[in-house]
Amino acid sequence: MSKLERIDLEPALVLHARPWRESSLLVEAFSRGHGRLGLIARGARRPKSRMRGLLQPFIPLLLSWRGRGDLATLTGADTEGRFPPLAGSAAIVGLYLNELLLRFLHRHDPEPVLFDHYLAALDGIAHGSDPEPILRIFEKRLLEAAGYALELKREAHSGRAIEPGGRYRYTTDSGPERWSGDASPGVGVSGSTLLALAREEITGRRALEEAKYLMRSIIDERCGGRALVSRRLWRR
């Protein structure tokens, strides 16, 4: 039998929580040193539980747990600070980030660098920064962490460097190829947008729109066509 794991005061944020049994919560969290986690918060829905108001998204926490396997028992939760409250469209953007993490990360795979990027993205959204470049850069970094790194600097088959003035077709499984004007599958995108995404410096309306369409297409394919709930909320 494997040893019972005990972790104390691990930096983490809640991605999602739902009722479990009569008074508990089933929590999906993202921690800095242990990756995505499934935790049972026993009694967290009771009126006098000190964890009742803490186990929700966008609150930096220090979590403690014990157990082994896919579900451990949460033994403590302390706040490590707060972002300004996310409301309206900002909250939906935050939920979109959470949903991506739930879709792409496996449990117990540490991703400390991505965790820091996630905190930075939430901080930018909470302080009113334009969410579009924040989302595109986070999507790029998440795909890389999940093993789906994008080729943004060279043509997929020839290996030629992407030219800023060129026009390309990007397919999810192969990458960019020079567009010949035919109806080949893939997403049309300019070389300047690919290079801007590679540099993580996406500015200008055209580049932001092209990057959004490109990333949406790639994420949809990697999700196997399963719709993202947060996108439906945004449309409403």
One-character DSSP codes across 130-142: -HHHHHHHHHHHH
Q: Is 172 exposed, middle or buried (0-12, 13-18, 19+ CB in 10 A)?
A: middle
2 — pLDDT class (breaks 50, 70, 90):
very low
Given a contact cutoff of 8 angstroms between Cβ atoms, the answer to whether 193 and 206 are in contact is: yes
118 — pLDDT class (breaks 50, 70, 90):
very high
CA-to-CA separations, 131 to 61, 123, 127, in angstroms, rounded: 23, 11, 10
The whole-number average pLDDT for the span 191-218 is 96
- Going by C-alpha positions, the residue among 192, 194, 185 that lies closest to residue 214 is 194
What integer pLDDT is reported at residue 84 of this predicted model?
A: 81
The model's pTM is: 0.92
pLDDT at residue 191 tops 60: yes
For the chain, what percent of residues have pLDDT higher than 70? 98
By mean pLDDT, which of 79-93, 133-147, 153-167 is the weakest?
Answer: 79-93
pLDDT at residue 1 tops 50: no
Half-sphere exposure of 170 (CA within 13 A, CB side): 26
4 — pLDDT class (breaks 50, 70, 90):
low
| Average pLDDT of the residues of the chain | 92
**Nearest-angstrom CA–CA distance, 223 and 212:** 16
Q: Residue for token digits 């567009």?
A: 179
Given a contact cutoff of 8 angstroms between Cβ atoms, the answer to whether 7 and 65 are in contact is: yes
For residue range 28-72, list pLDDT tens digits in order: 999 999 999 999 999 999 988 888 889 999 999 999 999 988 899
3-state helix, strand, coil in the chain (%, to 5): 35, 25, 40
- Phi/psi of residue 187, each to 5°? -105, 130
CA-to-CA separations, 212 to 67, 96, 100, 113, 197, in angstroms, rounded: 40, 14, 15, 23, 10
- Going by C-alpha positions, the residue among 136, 90, 89, 95 that lies closest to residue 117 is 136
